[in-house]
Structure 1
C-alpha cells in the first residue's frame, strides 16, 4: 500500500473480524453470505482525522464527517464487485475509501454519506464510485497518475469533507482511462472532464436502451429509425472522446 503514501501517524493496519461487522451492522442474510463467500479478509489501513493529521472535522445539517477511513478488502474472486462495495460502505458510517484487492490488482471506491433527516443516528449513502480493477504497482501508466493524484500531499486538507470530496472527484475521472488511455491531473479541467464523462455514460445507456427496443420491433422502418438514433449517439460519444483527449494534452 506504499503508493498511497499515508502519513505515518494515520497508519493502523489492523484486521477487522467479519463477525465484528455482523454484530454491529444490520446485514441481511444475503449480505452476510456475500461476506462469507466473496471476501477473504478486511483490514483497517488508515484513519485521517484531527489527531492523526490535523484535519478539521466537518459538521453540517447534511454531513457529519469526523474522519476518513481507508479499508482494504481482500477478495476471493471478481464476482459482484459493485455489490461488495455497496455492502462495505454500508458497514462504516464514516466516509470510507475502499481498496478492493484481487490477486495483483486493486479497485478503489468512495461514496458520500449524508445524515438521514428522519433519523440522525443513521446515514444515507450516495451511489458509490467504483473504479475498474487495475495494477497499482506499474509505473508510467494512467492509473499510476490517478494514484498520484490521491496521495494525502496532493489532496485538499481544509477539512475532512474537502479531503474526501477531492479524492472522490478524482475517482470520478477514472473512466477517462479506458476511453482515452490517459489520465489528466490538471485540477482546473477536472469538473469539465467529469461533466463530459457523465454525458458519455448517459449516451451509452441510451444506446443500450435503443438496441433493446430495436430487437423488439418488427417493422423495418422503425428499426432503421432506431438504427439512425444509435448512430447519432455513437457519433456524439466519439466527439466527446476527442474533446477529452484534447483536455488531457
Structure 2
C-alpha cells in the first residue's frame, strides 16, 4: 500500500488537498536534542519526509482542545519514505524523534516497499517547560500491504480511522480515537481480533493482561534458547514441561481478553 492509497482509503484525499511539503532533516537537527546515533539514522535511512496533511480549525470542522495538560490545536499527517535497507530498529528511532520534536499530535505514515506502517503517540505538556511535550505512549501497526485490503482485520482498521467514523468534537478526541485504533491493531495478534476498547477501565485491564502475555512469551523464548543448548536429556524434559506450563498460562490469559 502506498501512502497516497492509505490517505485515499481513510477519506483524507477526498476531504483536503494534500500539502506534500518536504520536511528538511535539518529541522530535527536544529530543534530536537539528538545524539549521534539518532542523527545517523535520520541521515542514512530516510529517503524523503513530508508534511502531507495539516488539520486545523481553518481546514476542517474540528475545534482545538487546550487545558493545563494538553494542547491539541491541530493534527499533522507526516509521510516518511524509508530506504530499502531500513529495519524495525531504525523505524523506532525515527518514530520517537518525530513524536518528541513536534509539539502537535502527529500521525506518522512510514512507507517502505509498497507497504505502510502507521504510528501515533499521545503527548502532554511538560509541567516545567510548556514549550516541550512529554510522550505518554507510542503505538504502531505492523506493515500493511495494498494486497491485504481484502483482509477483514485490515479493512476494519482502515474503516475505524476513516474521517466519517472519527470523533470531530475536538482534536484531542479525534486524535485519541485514531491512537486507540492503532493500539488495537498493534495488539491484534494477541487479542485475536481488531477490537477498539474505548472504556478506560476495560482498556487498562486489557493492557495488564497483554503485559502478562508478553512477559510469559519472553520467558518461553528464554527457556527454548536454554533447552537448545542443553545436552542432558532430563534437563531438556524439565525445560519442555515448564514451556508447556507457560503455554497453558498464555491460553488462560488469552481467554480473559475475550471476556
For 2:97, the equivalent position in structure 1 comes to: 87
1:201 and 2:214 correspond: yes
Measured in 1, the distance between the counterparts of 2:44 and 2:106 equals 22
For 1:15, the equivalent position in structure 2 comes to: 22
- Of the three residues 135, 140, 144, the one matched with 1:134 is 144
Under a length normalisation based on structure 2, what TM-score does the superposition of the two structures give?
Answer: 0.78
1:56 and 2:66 correspond: no
Pair 156,205 (structure 1): closer, same or farther in 2 beyond 3 Å: farther
Measured in 2, the distance between the counterparts of 1:81 and 1:74 equals 11
For 1:37, the equivalent position in structure 2 comes to: 44
Q: CA deviation at 1:208?
A: 4.2
Measured in 1, the distance between the counterparts of 2:248 and 2:177 equals 32
What secondary structure does 1:97 align onto? strand
Pair 134,181 (structure 1): closer, same or farther in 2 beyond 3 Å: farther
Pair 185,121 (structure 1): closer, same or farther in 2 beyond 3 Å: closer
**Runs of at least 5 residues in structure 1 that lack an aligned partner in the other structure:** none
* Counterpart contact for 1:49–1:55, Cα < 8 Å: yes
For 1:71, the equivalent position in structure 2 comes to: 78
What secondary structure does 2:40 align onto? helix
1:174 and 2:181 correspond: no
Pair 207,20 (structure 1): closer, same or farther in 2 beyond 3 Å: same
* Counterpart contact for 1:156–1:166, Cα < 8 Å: yes
What secondary structure does 2:20 align onto? strand
The alignment yields a C-alpha RMSD, in angstroms, of 3.3
Cα deviation, 1:144-175, whole Å, max 9, x if unaligned, reads 22112111211112211111111111111114
* Counterpart contact for 1:10–1:47, Cα < 8 Å: no
Measured in 1, the distance between the counterparts of 2:81 and 2:126 equals 30
* Counterpart contact for 1:145–1:183, Cα < 8 Å: yes
Q: CA deviation at 1:10?
A: 6.4
Pair 64,214 (structure 1): closer, same or farther in 2 beyond 3 Å: farther
Measured in 1, the distance between the counterparts of 2:45 and 2:94 equals 8
**Runs of at least 5 residues in structure 2 that lack an aligned partner in the other structure:** 1-6
For 1:152, the equivalent position in structure 2 comes to: 163
Cα deviation, 1:95-139, whole Å, max 9, x if unaligned, reads 111101101111111111111112121111123212211214533
- Of the three residues 183, 195, 198, the one matched with 2:194 is 183
Under a length normalisation based on structure 1, what TM-score does the superposition of the two structures give?
Answer: 0.81
* Counterpart contact for 1:173–1:193, Cα < 8 Å: no
Measured in 1, the distance between the counterparts of 2:40 and 2:110 equals 18
